[in-house]
């Protein structure tokens, strides 16, 4: 069996993104880190990392080796935690990926509380609307809003993702309330680039509705602000506009139609055999925070919506 420390150094280099950063984390000089990686590659007879002056990247062999090393190190950490009873105290750096808007609204405001509960943790929160390569980019966990039935990742559903058609009362007063899907063709529908096909479900089952509007933007947050200001009608998640729906600043229209109920808010992670303590702590924190009925859905009648709920205040 190979030297365990070399495996740890290799894993840290991949996670940190550079040998110098890994060296700082492990109190080793970049020269020592480079030497240990070369020794590991020589022993394995394969190049694991492609090195440039600015960055490193995993080779195909390095990617496969890294995935297996992570599982090995996680199993060792689990064994040590079991023996030393350290499993009650998450430690180290927790690297998280989350969608931009969701992370800003529903994760960032609670980081202080999470860090107070876990003072030995450092947190790296990366917000992106792209589906990142969790293993390849060294993330411990990712929050995703998606349909994951066929995903190869390990996932825990944190909350439902209700998406409803809605508009501001001012817009509905000026343009009328749509009573059917055909009516939407006469309304200004708001959507981000390449999101003009609304995937909906109704009594007739799932279908796709092509919508049109006078706004072009690549930003979902721009759509949200224009919706609230009364520019048009949009299909939005309640986690995004729940506060406005609760206050009456937005009204649900055509409540008999929703986006796919299979889409949810998930925590996903790569480890198949062991959930690291720090990852478990974060996932449990979010699950407790959101609960069976997330705070953004409270007060909204999402199970038995009626047409009367769209009456303009």
CATH number at residue 185: 3.40.190.290
| DSSP reduced 3-state for 293 | coil
pLDDT (0 to 100) of residue 304: 45
Same domain? 255 vs 267 = no
- CA-CA distance, 161 to 12, in Å (whole number)? 35
Percent of the chain at pLDDT above 70?
88
| Cα dist from 218 to 100, 101, 234, 235, whole Å | 13, 13, 15, 15
Residue bearing tokens 């808010």: 265
Helix, strand, coil content of the chain in percent (nearest 5): 40, 20, 35
Strands 92-98 vs 141-146: parallel, antiparallel or unpaired: parallel
Same domain? 16 vs 74 = yes
Residue bearing tokens 């492609």: 50
The pLDDT tens digits of the residues spanning 215-237 come to: 999 999 999 999 999 999 999 99
For residue 306, tell me if it sits in a domain: no
Token code pair at residue 160:
């439902």
pLDDT (0 to 100) of residue 1: 43
Same domain? 202 vs 287 = no
Lowest mean pLDDT among 78-82, 137-141, 243-247: 78-82
Mean pLDDT score of the chain, rounded to an integer? Answer: 86
- Per the model's pLDDT, the better-predicted residue between 17 and 65 turns out to be 65
The pLDDT tens digits of the residues spanning 180-212 come to: 999 998 999 999 998 999 999 888 888 899 999
Same domain? 175 vs 154 = no
- Which residue range(s) make up the domain with 9? 4-84
Domain boundary among 44, 68, 84: 84
For residue 308, tell me if it sits in a domain: no
- CA-CA distance, 39 to 161, in Å (whole number)? 49
Query: How many folded domains does the chain comprise?
Result: 3
Name the pLDDT band for 24 (thresholds 50, 70, 90): confident
| DSSP reduced 3-state for 156 | strand
């Amino acid at each position: 069996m190979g030297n365990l420390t070399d495996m740890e150094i290799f894993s840290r280099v991949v996670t940190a993104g550079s040998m110098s950063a890994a060296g700082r984390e492990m109190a080793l000089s970049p020269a020592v880190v480079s030497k240990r990686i070369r020794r590991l590659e020589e022993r394995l007879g394969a190049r694991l990392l492609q090195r440039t002056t600015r960055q490193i990247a995993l080779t195909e062999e390095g990617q496969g080796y890294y995935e297996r090393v992570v599982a090995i190190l996680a199993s060792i950490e689990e064994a040590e935690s079991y023996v030393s009873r350290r499993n009650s105290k998450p430690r180290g750096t927790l690297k998280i990926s989350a969608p931009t808007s969701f992370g800003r609204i529903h994760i960032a405001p609670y980081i202080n509380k999470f860090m107070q509960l876990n003072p030995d943790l450092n947190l790296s929160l990366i917000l992106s609307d792209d589906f990142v390569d969790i293993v390849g980019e060294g993330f411990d966990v990712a929050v995703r809003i998606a349909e994951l039935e066929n995903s190869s990742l390990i996932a825990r559903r944190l909350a439902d993702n209700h998406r409803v058609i809605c508009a501001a009362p001012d817009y509905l007063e000026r343009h009328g309330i749509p009573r059917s899907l055909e009516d939407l063709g006469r309304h200004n529908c708001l959507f981000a680039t390449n999101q003009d096909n609304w995937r909906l479900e109704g009594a007739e089952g799932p279908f796709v509705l092509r919508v049109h509007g006078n706004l072009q933007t690549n930003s979902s947050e721009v759509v949200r602000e224009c919706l609230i200001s009364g520019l048009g009608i949009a299909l939005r998640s309640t986690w995004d506009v729940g506060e406005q729906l609760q206050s009456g600043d937005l009204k649900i229209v055509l409540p008999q139609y929703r986006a796919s109920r299979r889409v949810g808010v998930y925590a996903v992670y790569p480890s198949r055999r062991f959930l690291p303590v720090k990852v478990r702590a974060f996932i449990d924190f979010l699950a407790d925070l959101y609960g069976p009925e997330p705070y953004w859905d409270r007060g909204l009648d999402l199970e038995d919506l009626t047409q009367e709920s769209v009456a303009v205040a």
